């Protein structure tokens, strides 16, 4: 199905707003840097003050890129899950994937005390964290899938996700009971969600995982569209359901896992963004929706981070607070409207 003119226009507008928000995002912070200096800096030219250069290159740019990658990844994994589970309210946070990833990270951060020093350093490296949290979200997703198979009612899956969420947080609680104050502080900061303080190397790792996720989801656009008719119809038009399901699970685990490892559990982006995209584009065609959620996810996370900077003050709020404040009302509004998507 070719894109309509209106859809193309919206996509262009979204791309434009991502660029604008990117610049707004890097211009905000406790130190004011003139816009023309920022533009210069991005193109590698020297700035008037060397401190500005350090702030731009070591803090603001990595953070802006993290915001973009996190937004893209969470939004896409939400879109895939909503189609796979035939449930408009599915998302990595609601289904407990983020909690699963938290559990993985908790085991690493809080559990290192029980490990020998050499193994501990290995696990505390960025790759170790990604591995642990990816594994955590993968296991939770598998568990949800197994239970979901027994359930006819797709809404019940949300409750299952909720249960897995509280189950994993209970284990995290037990773990934190036995950890030192220092470890606990580290884990608490992580669990508040933060997209700042990532090194370029970490941004690179996150970026490549998100790229893999996006490429794999482009590969399943056609089966995703077939799944809109339900599993049986999809199979009857020649879709290999098992293979598609495995790819979707893989993509969502990679995305939710790597993002949660670096940025902490970030709520509601995965649920709300695909919804807003469906409202804007008025279609179920995943070719359009994938591009739309991708751009919208980046834009919304950049926006949330701009708000988190509290322009005009020196304070910075945790990003998770902002996404929840914006996301939770959207979900309630969607439920009340009861529109069928």
Min CB(240)–other proteins separation in Å = 6
d(CA 213, CA 90): 18
Min CB(145)–other proteins separation in Å = 16
Rank residues 222 and 245 by Cβ distance to other proteins and give the closer one.
Answer: 222
Rank residues 186 and 222 by Cβ distance to other proteins and give the closer one.
Answer: 222
Interacting residue ranges for other proteins, rule: CB under 8 A? 1-2, 86, 88, 154, 219, 221-222, 225-230, 232-233, 235-240, 278, 282-285, 287, 340-341
Rank residues 257 and 274 by Cβ distance to other proteins and give the closer one.
Answer: 274
Instruction: Tell the residue number behind the tokens 């790759």, with chain if given.
Output: 127
User: For residue 317, what is the DSSP state?
Assistant: -
Rank residues 31 and 229 by Cβ distance to other proteins and give the closer one.
Answer: 229
Nearby residues of 36 by Cβ (< 8 Å), 6 or more positions away? none
d(CA 244, CA 216): 10
Min CB(78)–other proteins separation in Å = 15
Instruction: Tell the residue number behind the tokens 């896409």, with chain if given.
Output: 76
Instruction: Tell the residue number behind the tokens 């908790």, with chain if given.
Output: 106
Q: Judge whether 273 and 295 are in contact, CB under 8 Å.
A: no
Min CB(90)–other proteins separation in Å = 11
Rank residues 266 and 280 by Cβ distance to other proteins and give the closer one.
Answer: 280
Q: Judge whether 257 and 133 are in contact, CB under 8 Å.
A: yes
Min CB(228)–other proteins separation in Å = 5
Residue 333 buriedness (CB in 10 A; 0-12 / 13-18 / 19+): exposed
Instruction: Tell the residue number behind the tokens 């709300």, with chain if given.
Output: 272
d(CA 174, CA 168): 10
d(CA 281, CA 59): 35
Q: 324 by DSSP, 3-state: which?
A: helix
Rank residues 176 and 283 by Cβ distance to other proteins and give the closer one.
Answer: 283
Min CB(255)–other proteins separation in Å = 21
Min CB(154)–other proteins separation in Å = 8
Q: Which among 193, 185, 190 is positioned nearest to 67, based on CA atoms?
A: 193
Instruction: Tell the residue number behind the tokens 């802006």, with chain if given.
Output: 64
Q: Judge whether 69 and 207 are in contact, CB under 8 Å.
A: yes
Rank residues 154 and 316 by Cβ distance to other proteins and give the closer one.
Answer: 154
d(CA 136, CA 132): 6
Min CB(64)–other proteins separation in Å = 31
Rank residues 196 and 235 by Cβ distance to other proteins and give the closer one.
Answer: 235
């Amino acid at each position: 199905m070719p894109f309509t003119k209106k859809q193309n226009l919206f996509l262009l507008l979204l791309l434009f707003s991502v660029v604008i928000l990117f610049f707004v995002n890097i211009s905000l912070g406790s130190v004011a840097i003139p816009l023309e200096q920022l533009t210069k800096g991005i193109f590698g030219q020297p700035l008037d003050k060397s401190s500005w250069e350090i702030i731009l290159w070591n803090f603001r740019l990595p953070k802006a890129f993290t915001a973009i990658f996190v937004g893209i990844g969470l939004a896409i994994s939400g879109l895939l899950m909503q189609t796979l589970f035939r449930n408009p309210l599915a998302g990595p946070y609601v289904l407990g994937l983020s909690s699963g990833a938290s559990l993985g990270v908790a085991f690493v951060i809080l559990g290192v005390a029980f490990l020998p020093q050499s193994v501990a350093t290995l696990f505390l490296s960025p790759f170790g964290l990604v591995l642990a949290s990816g594994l955590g979200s993968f296991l939770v997703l598998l568990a949800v899938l197994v239970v979901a198979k027994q359930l006819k009612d797709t809404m019940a899956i949300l409750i299952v996700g909720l249960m897995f969420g509280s189950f994993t947080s209970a284990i995290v609680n037990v773990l934190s009971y036995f950890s030192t104050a220092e470890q606990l502080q580290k884990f608490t900061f992580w669990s508040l969600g933060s997209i700042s303080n990532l090194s370029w190397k970490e941004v690179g790792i996150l970026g490549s995982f998100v790229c893999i996720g996006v490429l794999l989801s482009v590969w399943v656009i056609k089966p995703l569209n077939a799944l809109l008719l339900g599993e049986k119809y999809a199979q009857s038009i020649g879709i290999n359901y098992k293979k598609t399901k495995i790819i979707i699970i893989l993509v969502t685990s990679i995305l939710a896992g790597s993002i949660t490892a670096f940025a902490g559990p970030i709520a509601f982006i995965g649920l709300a963004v695909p919804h807003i995209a469906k409202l804007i584009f008025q279609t179920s065609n995943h070719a359009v929706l994938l591009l739309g959620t991708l751009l919208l996810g980046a834009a919304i996370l950049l926006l949330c981070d701009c708000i988190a900077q509290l322009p005009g003050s020196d304070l910075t709020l945790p990003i998770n607070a902002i996404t929840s404040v914006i996301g939770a009302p959207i979900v309630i509004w969607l439920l009340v409207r009861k529109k069928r998507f």
